[in-house]
Structure 1
Amino acid sequence: MRKLVVPVIAGLLALTGLYLLKKPPAAASEGVAPAVRNVIFINGDGMAAAHREAGRLFLAGPDGSLAMDRFLCTGQLTTSPADPASAVTDSAAGASAWATGQRTYNGAISVDTHGKALPTLGIEAKRAGRATGLVTTSQVTDASPAAFFANSTDRNAEDDIARQYLEVSQPDVILGGGEDWWLPAGRAGAHPDHPAADPTEASLGTEGDLIAAAGRAGYQYVSTAGQLAAAGPGKLLGLFANEEMFQQDGDVYEPPVSLATMTQKALGTLSTDPDGFFLFVEEEAIDEFAHANNGRRVLQAMGELDRTVAVAQSFAAAHPGTLVIVTGDHETGGLAVEDPAGNPGEDGPFPVKGTKLTFVMEWTTTGHTAQDVPVSAYGPLADRFTGKHPNTYVHEVLAPLLAP
């Protein structure tokens, strides 16, 4: 594994300025908790306890905390799938457990082990009259968001998942990457086919021009940060990249629109619904860069995720009745945070904010592991997430709040 010296990552220190130890705003769950009106569910894809600790040390220091650490209620979730070939989950099975309350096989999008479609939280929330939305730095049709708003026996059928968004689940806000899946092969959209950064990317859908179909269904379509900022009220589709909003196999994390910006826009749009809303938010880069054992970019992605958590918490503090949950679908990389002494070949060293100390990140795999993941919650009923539970417990808590 490559050894990164402190000067190489000095530029990352600018990310740490916002992460000071401070008292969180009063939680809506303190005193008499109002009924849950809004739910914001945030997925740090691939994030487990070591990723959070590495982020805390780098961004906040030994006496500081991340925004997600300041949530008063924290527990653990197991992540086992119901897959005859593996005891370790992928994102599809992990998110499907949240969205449906049933464990399933890897690659499945909210279907049971026999391939039968299951009711999902996103669709049930819409049927109950709530506004719904999804925000991700991955493709908007990738496994985690898809599990809340679609059903498929194959997570790779992303063009069909996009079609289901328009024809079945109809989320009010869809923001992220993945324009390639919304257009037929050979028809480039706002993002050119075969870009220099990744010549393999190109439109490849088989469901026709789904962007045009979205327009007919009443969605505003935006593809740049400026267009997103200028978008008015109403249903919103934003696709800001061909595939993920960063180079999956490279060493670059420069999304054209930040996750926090997309989330802020989504909250402003969805919060106008008098019946409340359900919003799924995901930072994909933690998982992708952990697969690459790239600690520098994992720390950067952790910073972007935590900025987004702070946006959600600020909204919740101003809107009693908003429940915010932060967790990960699985652990990626088999990560441990270690002292540099005796570990000269590990990933790092990285500075511990506010000290002369450093740490290294040791990776044991480029795949997923079966580690438990932390879950933290803020707002009414946040205390339901204390203790250790299976990942299906998320559905057990949220279904009575969101279903008709």
Structure 2
Amino acid sequence: MKGAKVWKTALFGTAAAALVVTGYAGVQKSNQADAATQKAKNVVLFVGDGMGTAQRDAIRLATVGESGQLAMDAMPYVGLIHTSSTTAITDSAASATAYASGVKTYNGAVGVDANKKNVKTIMEYAKDKGMSTGLVTTSQITDATPAAFASHVLDRSKQSDIALQYLTKSKVDVLLGGGEDFWYPAGKAGAFKDETPADPSEKSKGTQGDLVAKAKSLGYTYVTNKTDMTKAKGKVLGLFANEEMFQQKPEGQGDVYNPIVSLPDMTKKALDTLSANKKGFFLMVEEEATDEMAHNNNAKLTIKAGQELDKSVKVAKDFAKQHPDTLVLVLADHETGGFSVEEVDATDESTDGQTISGEDGPFAIANSKMSFIVDWTTSGHTGVDVPVTATGAGSELFTGIYENTSIFNKLAQALGITVKK
């Protein structure tokens, strides 16, 4: 019976139940009508990369137990998002482009449509309104998800090109994350040594010259640790690792999630800086390790990264309490791993050597004597829908079931932005 109870929680404990209540109980239609008069001054968009409903359930069970609520789940409006790209199973670049610009595109594309033409992003529209903008991630700051909100390249691997566009084209005000290697040319190590024992492949590889020097010349304060980040004023570029701010390896083989600056701390700094603009701001915050650890079928660190994301969401919700014209939403670009939450069962088929799934755990359910395991069916992405939860100004818009491109349209409506066709 214990196992059955956990399974019921996994199915109905978070977004699925709230969607049924909110999206199909006669609330959706009236709320969307009301939303037209509730404009958001500020937007904080959280992306839990690779974080599907089951991942959110596992994070919840491990953190607050069956009857508790995560900050990312304690929101009044819920929807489900179809995640496909033009090639069905999306990658982060195509998905983020759908969110940022409202178009379906090919995997690997950043800020361009399926015909390889630039498409204006929601962050660029926000900038046109005089709003401040920010990108925060535990990945490289130039990785696919943040890149799609503020750059345009045909191939997500062009990370130095993306960095240069941040500085000279989209002019993002706050940039906090990893990826220092793409800001310095080969042979010029920055604050983080080349070819470290943890990962000898990491070394400076920039193709656009010394972009840290370029950033400084454009008025950015460059920081590489929490102390300097906290003190920084005005536009800030913070790079806190060679590549990602963690080591994504198979469990027990050098896998580490311990960023030198935490995602909640980066989120707070971005909010403190951007909120100085009386015209508002648009901030995108990504937790990348929920995806990278899932690619390695590492449930322990997938959950740990999700817990840090949830702490960051709480930071934003606390800000929104003081600034009720702020929209906060949490979503994923896609699901990774075919993640499922199951009962602890020695006879489970995943241990028979005949299935492709791998078993992980057990993990304790907080505030109880029960536990659960995680099963994986793949090390890649899947095509299942992902939940979005929302609170604050314009949050009523995000109920229902819809394509990932609709996120762009809903964000534009919440901000009162007229999109040029």
Q: Same fold (TM over 0.5)?
A: yes
2:267 counterpart (263, 267, 273): 263
The CA deviation at 1:231 is 1.4
**Whole-angstrom CA distance in 1 between matches of 2:67 and 2:168:** 50
Report if aligned partners of 2:185, 2:205 keep a CA contact under 8 Å in 1.
yes
Are 1:50 and 2:54 an aligned pair? yes
Report if aligned partners of 2:39, 2:416 keep a CA contact under 8 Å in 1.
no
Other structure's SS at 2:73 match: helix
User: Which residue in 2 is equivalent to 1:319?
Assistant: 323
User: Which residue in 2 is equivalent to 1:239?
Assistant: 239
Report if aligned partners of 1:124, 1:403 keep a CA contact under 8 Å in 2.
yes
Query: CA-to-partner distance for each residue in 1:243-290, whole Å, 9 max, x for gaps?
Result: 000012242101000000000000000000010000000000000000
When the two chains are superposed, the root-mean-square deviation of aligned CA atoms in Å is 1.4
User: Which residue in 2 is equivalent to 1:136?
Assistant: 137
User: Which residue in 2 is equivalent to 1:353?
Assistant: 366
Alignment of 1:168-187 (within 5 A): 168-187=169-188
Letter in 2 for 1:95: A
Report if aligned partners of 1:183, 1:189 keep a CA contact under 8 Å in 2.
yes
**Whole-angstrom CA distance in 1 between matches of 2:380 and 2:245:** 21
Structure 2 portions without partners, runs of 5+: 1-30, 352-358
Report if aligned partners of 1:136, 1:283 keep a CA contact under 8 Å in 2.
yes
User: Which residue in 2 is equivalent to 1:281?
Assistant: 285
Letter in 2 for 1:238: G
Letter in 2 for 1:132: T
**Whole-angstrom CA distance in 1 between matches of 2:162 and 2:408:** 21
Range moving further from structure 2, 145-154 or 112-121:
112-121
Other structure's SS at 1:329 match: coil
**Whole-angstrom CA distance in 2 between matches of 1:402 and 1:155:** 30
Alignment of 1:286-305 (within 5 A): 286-305=290-309
Are 1:373 and 2:386 an aligned pair? yes
Query: CA-to-partner distance for each residue in 1:328-383, whole Å, 9 max, x for gaps?
Result: 00000001100012338420000011111110000000000000000000001111
Report if aligned partners of 1:55, 1:299 keep a CA contact under 8 Å in 2.
yes
User: Which residue in 2 is equivalent to 1:192?
Assistant: 193
User: Which residue in 2 is equivalent to 1:22?
Assistant: none
Letter in 2 for 1:56: R
Letter in 2 for 1:93: A
Alignment of 1:1-400 (within 5 A): 34-83=38-87, 87-232=88-233, 234-249=234-249, 250-341=254-345, 342-343=347-348, 345=351, 346-400=359-413
**Whole-angstrom CA distance in 1 between matches of 2:361 and 2:377:** 15
Report if aligned partners of 2:133, 2:274 keep a CA contact under 8 Å in 1.
yes
Report if aligned partners of 2:299, 2:374 keep a CA contact under 8 Å in 1.
yes
Report if aligned partners of 1:136, 1:282 keep a CA contact under 8 Å in 2.
yes
Other structure's SS at 1:68 match: coil
Give me the identity figure in percent.
Answer: 52
Other structure's SS at 2:54 match: helix
The CA deviation at 1:81 is 0.3
**Whole-angstrom CA distance in 2 between matches of 1:302 and 1:120:** 27
Report if aligned partners of 2:38, 2:394 keep a CA contact under 8 Å in 1.
no
Letter in 2 for 1:237: L
Other structure's SS at 1:70 match: coil
Query: CA-to-partner distance for each residue in 1:180-216, whole Å, 9 max, x for gaps?
Result: 0001011001111111111110000110000000001
The CA deviation at 1:110 is 1.3
Other structure's SS at 2:176 match: strand
The CA deviation at 1:402 is 6.3
The CA deviation at 1:82 is 1.0
Letter in 2 for 1:89: T
**Whole-angstrom CA distance in 2 between matches of 1:225 and 1:268:** 14
Structure 1 portions without partners, runs of 5+: 1-28
The CA deviation at 1:123 is 1.4
Report if aligned partners of 1:125, 1:402 keep a CA contact under 8 Å in 2.
no
**Whole-angstrom CA distance in 1 between matches of 2:260 and 2:319:** 23
Report if aligned partners of 2:46, 2:285 keep a CA contact under 8 Å in 1.
yes
**Whole-angstrom CA distance in 1 between matches of 2:339 and 2:118:** 35
**Whole-angstrom CA distance in 2 between matches of 1:403 and 1:109:** 22
**Whole-angstrom CA distance in 2 between matches of 1:149 and 1:111:** 11
Report if aligned partners of 1:42, 1:326 keep a CA contact under 8 Å in 2.
yes
Other structure's SS at 2:411 match: helix
The CA deviation at 1:39 is 0.4
Matched length: 371
The CA deviation at 1:114 is 1.4
Other structure's SS at 1:64 match: coil
Letter in 2 for 1:191: F
Report if aligned partners of 1:127, 1:403 keep a CA contact under 8 Å in 2.
no
Q: Please, what TM-score do these two structures have when normalized by structure 1?
A: 0.90
